[in-house]
Every structure is written in structure tokens, then in C-alpha cells.
């Protein structure tokens, strides 16, 4: 097909073409940022497509293989796709977005289109954000597809071949981004060597991201340990992978599939990372069969949660010094300030402990920011607080939460010093790349829990 006709022609296979104009780009608000999105098709199910690496909703649709994938997915679903913050038509950011912030963008787009529940397809670098959304909001996700994507360790824990591949792609983007060759390598395996197509690849790169932004997205994808998310995914999950993929090692995808309960892994014969003739390959057949042929499943009662425990330091001594009435008044003021911050940072009050709170968040960055705000508010009242946070899988029991994650959060809080916000390594990893900074507090034994846990304190500069 002529690349110039991709915007006006959806190819559904063979010689069948469905003519239409370009889809309309709209915007959803995610915090202070505008996230560009499009809705295609009107099928009986909602499907959110989380793009890989970088994207541009409008120029991307001029690439025939991207247009064909959109056409295929929108032929059986209402397809919702968007540009991640910092790329394409979405707002640029001052720093690198965290996985939790990108998860918020998925929710913002779903809310904007009125989608209560959808299947999520995370392609390549978009897989971890899709996975953490599915783990954090199982009630809003009917199924998860990780397409040429895996949840692996950070780069320094990968083998020499993977590190060499990363170094090559990183340096290549830094030197050649904008000439189209990186796009040809990543999503155009087997594309014809035509000048017009080369210029289209080049234009796509220039519109999708600057060279520095493209490198930053790549580096982020290799910097976070996403493996802990695997255990918290409790919805039907499919992984589609290519054994000869030069970007996503098949061993990493296999390990991801093994770490997700009940996950199905299908390895197809598609060449490269994402091929030019993707519509003629079996990837899309497998994805469609999985999404449309599955039976109704119960919404999981387990989800990935960041828990925050707070505690007033020396509360017994202060109560004795102030007397019951003055202490009760001070506690009421503390509780009111704390609940104000919970509303501000979208935390859910799970319980109170008399002189502290147990709070649940679906985003670790907001949880850390809320913890610091609560600690700061307490100083205005002449109180010192300690706070501890951990991210992990929890089981919902009515309005309460249960599971090992709750025990870890409580133990971390107990080790925090006066005025300190202490977090587990999982929290630190999930907010990596934000302006939130930590100092290590070394390895600790947590009472009643196995192994030793490295803990980190929020730094004053944050």
C-alpha cells in the first residue's frame, strides 16, 4: 500500500479495504498535563493500546504497518490509544515520567472516554506501564496482553549481550535520531528500501520525540526492576513474543510469563522486534482470539497497592504531659490535616491506629509526596511523625486490606526516625526517574519476615 494512503485506508487483510478519514485527536487531563488520545471503532469491548518507546498518533497512522494494526484491533473493539506524556502530541515533561505517572495517564484516558473496564495491550516499552495498571486496578482491566514486552531486571543485572544491544541502540539514537533508521530497526523489519518510506520514518521520529527525549525513554525502560509487579497480576494475561527479537530477549519474556499466575505465552515466527508485514503474521490472530474468545472471569480481589503507615513519635509521653482534653484536641487537628492531604493526593484511608493512619494508594509517587506533606503538617502542630511505605500485592477484605505487604509497611514505619519518611526498595524503584530522591539506610531485618530488606529515606532536597 502507498504510505501516503494509510490515513485514508484501513487494510483488514487480503484485498479488503475500509475507507475512512483520519481519526480525531482529543485530550485528557492527567494532573496538570494534557494527554493526546484517539478512539477508533465501536466494537463490543474496550481495548486500550499502550504504545512502545515513542509514538505520534497522527504521523504514526501514516505508517502502513501501524495503521494496519489499529485497523485490525478496532475491527473487534473500541480501540483507545494515546501518546505517552513527553512524546508525540502529549505534553512534554520537565523530568522523566515514572511508571506510576504513566499508569495515571492510562486511567485519565479511560475516564475521558467513559471506559469503566477494558482490555489492555502493552507493546514493547509500554508493557510495564500496562502491567502495573492491571495489577493496581484489576477491577478496570478485563485482560492484559504484553506484546513483545517483558517485566525484567534493570540493565546492570542483565547479561553482556543485552547490555551490548542497549549500548548500540542508545548510541545510535543519540547520533542518528531523525533520519528514520532507528524506526526502521525497531518497527520496520522487512520494510522496502524506498526514499518516500525513509522520509516517512524520518518525519515520524522528529514528530514523536527529540533525540534526548528518545534516549531518555530508552534509558528509563532499562533502569527499573519491574519483576515484583508480576506476582500481583491476577487477571488473564497473554504474552506474544518473537524468539529472534533483537530488542526484547526471549528468555526475559519467558521468565515474565512464568512469574504471572496462569499467563499464556505464544512465540510466533515474526522477524525482528515488530515487522513491516505484521498484519500477515500470527501475532494479531493470537491477540484477537485471546481477547474475544475468553469467558467471563471474576474481578480479582487482589491488587498492587502502596501502603503508608504513619505514627506520632512519643505520643504516650505527650498525652501524659498535656492531659486528656488537650491531647484529644491536638489529635483531632492532626487527623483533620492528615485527611486533607489524603484528599489532595488521592489516598484511601484504610484504618487509624489512635495516633496514626494506615493509607492505601494506587501510585507510589503520590504516596511518598503525601507522607512528606503529613510529616510537614505535624510540625506545625508541634508533633513529630514517622512514616513508612511499601508497595506490593494486597487482598481486599471489604474496606480493609490484608497480606504480607501490610506487614512490611508497618515494619518499615517502625524503623523510621522522627520526621523521617522511610520506604522499601520496591517504592524507590517505582518512582525512579522522578524528582523524588532517597538516601540508603542499609539492610535491615523486618520482624517476622524473611531475608534482609534495603530501606531508603526521603532526602530533605526532595
Model confidence pLDDT, tens digit, residues 190-233:
888 888 888 999 999 999 999 988 888 888 878 888 888 998 99
Number of helices followed by number of strands (H, E) in the chain: 15, 18
Element spanning 377, H or E: helix 364-380
Q: Is the pLDDT of residue 435 over 60?
A: yes
The residue with greater pLDDT, 254 or 403, is 254
Report DSSP letters for 180-205, one per residue: SHHHHHHH-BT----HHHHHHHHHHH
Q: Is the pLDDT of residue 397 over 80?
A: no
Residues in the chain: 462
Predicted local distance difference test score (pLDDT) of residue 21: 55
Q: Is the pLDDT of residue 265 over 90?
A: yes
Predicted local distance difference test score (pLDDT) of residue 268: 92
Predicted local distance difference test score (pLDDT) of residue 270: 84
Predicted local distance difference test score (pLDDT) of residue 359: 96
Which stretches of 88-221 are DSSP H helices? 99-112, 127-136, 160-176, 181-187, 195-208, 211-221
pLDDT band at 11 (very low <50, low <70, confident <90, very high): very low
Q: Percent of the chain, pLDDT > 70?
A: 92
Element spanning 341, H or E: helix 324-345
In 3D space, the residue among 237, 227, 33, 31 whose CA is nearest the CA of residue 121 turns out to be 237
**Per-residue pLDDT tens digits for 213-222:** 888 888 887 8
Q: Percent of the chain, pLDDT > 90?
A: 59
The residue with greater pLDDT, 298 or 342, is 342
Question: The whole model's pTM is what?
Answer: 0.75
Q: Is the pLDDT of residue 301 over 60?
A: yes
Residue 230: DSSP 8-state: G
Which stretches of 260-323 are DSSP H helices? 283-293, 315-322
**Per-residue pLDDT tens digits for 318-338:** 888 888 888 899 999 999 999
User: How does the average pLDDT of the chain come out, rounded?
Assistant: 88
Q: Is the pLDDT of residue 13 over 60?
A: no
Looking at residues 393-418, what average pLDDT do you find? 89
Q: Which residues contact 358 (CB under 8 A, 6 or more apart)?
A: 307, 308, 309, 349, 350, 351, 352, 406, 409
Predicted local distance difference test score (pLDDT) of residue 8: 43
Q: Is the pLDDT of residue 94 over 80?
A: no
Maximal CA-CA distance, the chain: 84
Q: Is the pLDDT of residue 7 over 80?
A: no
Q: Is the pLDDT of residue 9 over 60?
A: no
Looking at residues 115-124, what average pLDDT do you find? 97
Residue whose entry in the numeric block shows the C-alpha cell 504514526:
60
Element spanning 60, H or E: helix 57-60
Spatial separation of the C-alpha atoms in residues 333 and 376, rounded to whole Å = 14
**Per-residue pLDDT tens digits for 46-63:** 999 999 989 999 999 999
Phi, psi angle pair for 305, to nearest 5°: -135, 145
Predicted local distance difference test score (pLDDT) of residue 282: 85
The residue with greater pLDDT, 167 or 13, is 167
The domains found in the chain, sorted by start residue, are 3-293 (3.40.50.1820), 302-458 (3.30.70.1230)
Residue 88: DSSP 8-state: T
- Give the three cell numbers for residue 342: 489524603
**Per-residue pLDDT tens digits for 277-294:** 876 668 999 999 999 984
Predicted local distance difference test score (pLDDT) of residue 109: 97
Burial class (CB in 10 A: 0-12, 13-18, 19+), 32: exposed
**Per-residue pLDDT tens digits for 408-420:** 999 999 999 999 9
Predicted local distance difference test score (pLDDT) of residue 377: 93
- Give the three cell numbers for residue 293: 474468545
- Distance, first Cα to last Cα, the chain: 52
In 3D space, the residue among 438, 436, 437, 442 whose CA is nearest the CA of residue 455 turns out to be 442
Spatial separation of the C-alpha atoms in residues 147 and 398, rounded to whole Å = 34
Beta-bridge partners for 146: 122, 239
Amino acid at each position: 500500500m502507498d504510505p501516503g494512503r494509510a490515513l485514508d485506508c484501513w487494510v483488514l487483510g487480503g484485498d479488503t479495504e475500509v475507507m475512512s478519514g483520519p481519526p480525531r485527536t482529543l485530550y485528557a487531563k492527567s494532573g496538570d498535563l494534557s494527554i493526546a488520545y484517539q478512539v477508533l471503532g465501536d466494537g463490543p469491548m474496550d481495548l486500550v493500546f499502550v504504545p512502545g518507546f515513542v509514538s505520534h498518533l497522527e504521523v504514526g497512522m501514516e505508517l502502513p504497518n501501524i495503521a494496519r494494526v489499529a485497523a485490525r484491533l478496532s475491527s473487534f473493539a473500541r480501540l483507545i490509544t494515546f501518546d505517552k506524556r513527553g512524546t508525540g502530541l502529549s505534553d512534554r515533561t520537565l523530568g522523566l515520567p515514572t511508571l506510576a505517572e504513566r499508569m495515571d495517564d492510562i486511567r485519565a484516558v479511560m475516564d475521558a472516554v467513559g471506559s469503566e473496564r477494558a482490555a489492555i495491550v502493552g507493546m514493547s516499552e509500554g508493557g510495564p506501564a500496562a502491567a502495573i495498571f492491571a495489577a493496581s486496578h484489576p477491577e478496570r482491566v478485563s485482560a492484559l496482553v504484553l506484546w513483545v514486552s517483558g517485566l525484567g531486571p534493570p540493565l546492570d543485572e542483565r547479561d553482556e549481550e543485552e547490555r551490548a544491544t542497549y549500548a548500540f541502540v542508545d548510541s545510535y539514537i543519540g547520533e542518528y535520531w531523525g533520519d528514520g533508521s532507528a524506526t526502521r530497526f525497531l518497527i520496520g523489519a522487512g520494510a522496502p528500501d524506498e526514499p518516500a518510506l525513509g522520509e516517512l520514518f524520518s518525519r515520524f521520529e522528529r514528530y514523536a520525540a527529540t533525540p534526548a527525549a528518545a534516549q531518555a525513554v530508552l534509558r528509563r525502560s532499562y533502569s527499573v526492576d519491574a519483576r515484583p509487579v508480576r506476582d500481583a497480576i491476577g487477571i488473564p494475561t497473554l504474552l506474544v513474543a518473537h524468539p529472534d527479537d533483537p530488542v526484547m530477549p526471549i528468555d526475559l519474556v519467558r521468565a515474565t510469563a512464568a512469574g504471572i499466575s496462569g499467563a499464556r505465552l505464544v512465540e510466533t515466527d515474526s522477524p525482528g522486534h515488530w515487522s513491516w508485514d505484521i498484519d500477515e503474521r500470527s501475532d494479531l490472530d493470537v491477540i484477537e482470539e485471546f481477547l474475544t474468545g475468553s469467558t467471563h472471569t471474576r474481578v480479582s480481589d487482589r491488587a498492587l497497592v502502596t501502603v503508608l503507615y504513619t505514627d506520632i513519635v512519643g505520643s504516650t509521653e505527650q498525652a501524659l504531659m498535656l492531659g486528656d482534653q488537650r491531647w484529644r484536641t491536638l489529635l483531632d487537628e492532626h487527623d483533620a490535616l492528615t485527611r486533607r492531604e489524603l484528599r489532595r493526593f488521592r489516598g484511601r484511608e484504610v484504618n487509624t491506629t489512635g495516633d496514626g493512619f494506615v493509607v492505601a494508594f494506587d501510585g507510589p509517587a503520590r504516596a511518598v509526596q503525601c507522607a512528606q506533606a503529613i510529616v510537614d503538617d505535624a510540625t506545625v502542630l508541634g508533633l513529630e511523625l514517622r512514616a513508612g511505605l511499601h508497595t506490593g500485592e494486597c487482598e481486599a477484605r471489604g474496606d480493609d486490606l490484608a497480606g504480607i505487604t501490610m506487614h512490611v509497611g508497618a515494619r518499615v514505619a517502625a524503623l523510621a526516625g522522627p520526621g523521617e519518611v522511610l520506604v522499601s526498595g520496591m517504592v524507590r524503584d517505582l518512582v525512579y526517574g522522578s524528582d523524588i530522591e532517597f538516601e540508603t539506610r542499609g539492610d535491615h531485618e523486618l520482624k517476622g519476615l524473611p531475608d534482609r530488606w534495603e530501606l531508603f529515606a526521603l532526602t530533605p532536597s526532595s
